[in-house]
Each structure stands twice: as C-alpha cells, then as structure tokens.
Amino acid sequence: MRTADNGFMRFFLALLLVLSISPLALADEEPSPPLWEWGLGLGYIRYADYPSSDEYSDLMLPFPTFQYRGEYLRADDREGGRAYLFKSDAWSLEFSGGGRLPLDSSKNLAREGMENLPLVLDGGPQLVWSSGGTWEFQLAPFLSAAAYGTYIRQNGMRFKAQVIYRWESYARGPFSSPIYISGTTALEMNAASQEYMQTYFEVDPMFATASRAAYNARAGFLNNNLSYYQRFSSGRFSLYIGASVSDYTWSANRSSPLHRSDLNVGYGVGMIYQFGESARPSVAPEDTQGVINRYRQQRHERLIPID
C-alpha cells in the first residue's frame, strides 16, 4: 500500500479529459443491446483503504461478467444494478446497494494492531426521480451488513442522496468501426448511523496507543463524493475508465485518530470482451415496470376479465 501517485493521477485525469472531449461524428442511434450477455474482463482500481484513510490499495484481477436488461431487473454497465419495485413515468422505487472491500489492518499504519476491517455490503430501497434518462436524483436509506470471515452481523445504516447526469453518443472509429460512448457524472452525499461509523472510526481503549487515542464514533455526516465514469464499446470489446473524489471535511468523526485525510481520490480502468449473448433484445428502459405495477395489473385483469 502506498500513498497516491500524483504524477500518475495527473496523467490519468488528463486522459479522461482528452477522451471525453474528442470530436465525434454522431450516428442516428445506438443499436438495441441483447437481453443478456456474458464475458470476461480485466480491471485495475486504486482506492483508499477505508473512508478518510491516507493510505491506498491497488487491485488488479480478471473477472467474469454477466449483464441482464429485463422488465423488472436490470444489471449492466449503463444503469448499474437495480430491481424495480414500483415505476411511473418519472418516479420509481427500486432495490439497490453498494459496499466497501475488507482490509488487513496489519497493512495500514493507522490501524496497525487493530481488528481487520470487514467486507461491508449496503442494500435497500431507493426513491428515484428521472428526467428522460439524462438527469436522475436518488434518495436511499440502506441497511448495512459486515462480513467477518465466517459470520455476518448487522452494521447500522447508511443514508445516500445522489444527483446523476448521463450522456451517450454513437461514433465512427478510425477504421470506420462503430463506437458507442456513454458517460456518467454523479455527486453523492452520505450520512451514517453510529454503528456504521464505529466500523471505520471507533478506537476501543484496548487498541489505544501513544499515537492513537481511544475514540467513540458518532452518527452524522460521512462525506461528499464526486465521481466520473466513461465507457467505449465497439463490437464485443468495451473499455471503461473512471475516477472519484471523496471529501471528508465535514465528517462527523473528523476528530477520530483514524481520520487521516480530508480527501480520498480513487480511479480505475477495465476492459471486457463479450463471448455470448441472447438472441432476444433487451427490454427498453421506458418499457420497464415494477413488481408492484405488475401485481396491480394482474389483479385488475382478474377482477375485470378482458375478452
């Protein structure tokens, strides 16, 4: 683990800028994707060890991919993962989530001698307002769970408010090959319960040292996060780049000895090759509906039979 490499970060952000503003020859529209597809990918990410850490981890690994774009459930590289509970023209109630990777505390100076950090997964309903697929506002209370080896415990709650802007274009590449380009910029604010905050900021007296005082974590504001993501696809091949900046200046636990930095910067790059897909096309985003909508429709049809 090392601190952020400023030279590489400047190069990476410059690459994002060049790719995002390159002139493009727009075509009429992007072809409809398949209902499902699978492939293999290779990715690299650099991320802070934990919220407000001043040390970073690097992760590079191959991974399988599966994308599905159905009527109620969608999990792909455009919209992320979401299950529709209820949906109208502008509003929807969805099930979604997020999480953070575990950490071996012996590899982080600030947490040396403390318990390892668990794999944390958050999930729950989120209320979404969407404007034609370009602007989106999300508000969610997520339940959190922490996986400590062979057991899982409840880990409090995380509260998220997020504004998202999406764009897409269709272009011709240097060899007249079609290239589909999509991007997302998101501004997110997070707060959390005391139990959630204890995972990252609590210092039990038994782990206190001369340079790490005991500390009782408290509920409140966690961070602001600005993220950028862009995808380039041609045929069966896709390239992904992204970066995020998290600000902990207003964190409720800024006094914790484990709060080591007001700013965390993460970035990553990945590529996927698609090996197989369905012959059936995906359900268009405007044709998706929630399971509650479908239940109400079926109930109405049973009460009022249609000849």
Q: Could you tell me the residue range of the domain that residue 182 belongs to?
A: 6-303
Taking only the tens place, the pLDDT of each residue in 218-253 is 999 999 999 999 999 988 899 999 999 999 999 999
Domain tally, the chain:
1
Contact criterion met (CB below 8 Å) for 264 and 48: yes
How much is the pLDDT for 269?
96
pLDDT of residue 10: 55
CATH (domain of 61) = 2.40.230
Task: Look at residue 283 and tell me if it is in a domain.
Answer: yes
Angle (nearest 5°) at CA 92 between 73 and 30: 60
Q: Determine, yes or no, domain membership for 255.
A: yes
Residue 103 lies in a domain: yes
pLDDT of residue 170: 77
φ/ψ region of 269 (left if φ > 0, alpha if ψ in -120 to 50, else beta) reads beta
Pick the closest to residue 297 from 138, 12, 96, 71 (CA basis). 71
* 192 within 8 A of 159, measured Cβ to Cβ: yes
More confident residue, 53 or 176: 53
**Is the residue at 97 inside a domain?**
yes
Give the rounded percent of residues in the chain with a pLDDT score beyond 90.
62
pLDDT at 82 over 80: yes
Pairing of strands 73-76, 56-69: antiparallel
1 assigned to some structural domain: no
